[in-house]
Amino acid sequence: MDQNQQTSKTRQPILVSACLLGLPTRYDGKTKTSQAVADFLKRENLIPVPVCPEQLAGMTTPREKTFFHCGDGCDVLAGTGTVVSETGKIMNEIFRHGAAMALQIAQLSGCKRALLKERSPSCGVHQIYLGEQATDGMGVTAALLASRGLNVISEEDLPL
Ligand code: SF4
């Protein structure tokens, strides 16, 4: 076994919100590049698997801003919550689809952990926006990944 094979065997994959890695996937076409994320990946010798659930679901970039009208991602998965666009379109189905795609990529690539962007309606781990108010809750993708046993980590939980 050569050194490259040995190194790649010991490195673990981790699902990461694409915008945190510098990809311009956000609703406004911008990134949320995080030095704390880059440092963590390097320190832990992890292989990042970038996903943007909203792009995976087929949404355009830029796209309308979205937020929860009631409940959070767990409630959207259970059929009792609602995520809406700023022009009032109900987005539950497309958000569930993006979450399912992200889960599929996590499973195919062997990710046991996911490092996600806080307060996103897809990726939020501890908080989401209910209307314009930041409140406790999970995004739809974070909720689905957690329900399937992945360890979901907020970028805000990493040391600076
Ligand atoms: Fe980033 Fe997640 Fe929003 Fe995509 S859905 S832009 S990965 S926070």
pLDDT of residue 9: 62
pLDDT of residue 1: 47
Q: Are 140 and 123 in contact (CB under 8 A)?
A: no
State the sign of the Cα–Cα–Cα–Cα dihedral 96, 101, 104, 105: negative
pLDDT of residue 10: 81
Atom number, ligand 1, closest to the C-alpha of residue 17:
7
CA distance 90 to 85: 7
Kindly give the distance from the C-alpha atom of residue 53 to the centroid of ligand 1, in angstroms, as a whole number.
6
Nearest-10 Cα torsion for 36, 38, 40, 46? 160
Atom 3 of ligand 1: nearest residue by CA position: 26
Q: Is 17 in the pocket of ligand 1 (CB under 6 A)?
A: yes
Q: Is 16 in the pocket of ligand 1 (CB under 6 A)?
A: no
Tens digits of pLDDT across the chain (160 residues): 445 554 556 899 999 999 999 999 999 999 999 999 999 999 999 999 999 999 999 999 999 999 999 999 999 999 999 999 999 999 999 999 999 999 999 999 999 999 999 999 999 999 999 999 999 999 999 999 999 999 999 999 998 7
Helices (H), the chain: 3-10, 35-44, 53-56, 73-78, 92-109, 140-147
Q: Is 156 exposed, middle or buried (0-12, 13-18, 19+ CB in 10 A)?
A: middle
Parallel, antiparallel, or unpaired: how do β-strands 82-85 and 66-70 relate?
A: antiparallel
Atom number, ligand 1, closest to the C-alpha of residue 123:
2
pLDDT of residue 157: 96
Q: Is 99 exposed, middle or buried (0-12, 13-18, 19+ CB in 10 A)?
A: buried
Q: Is 34 in the pocket of ligand 1 (CB under 6 A)?
A: no
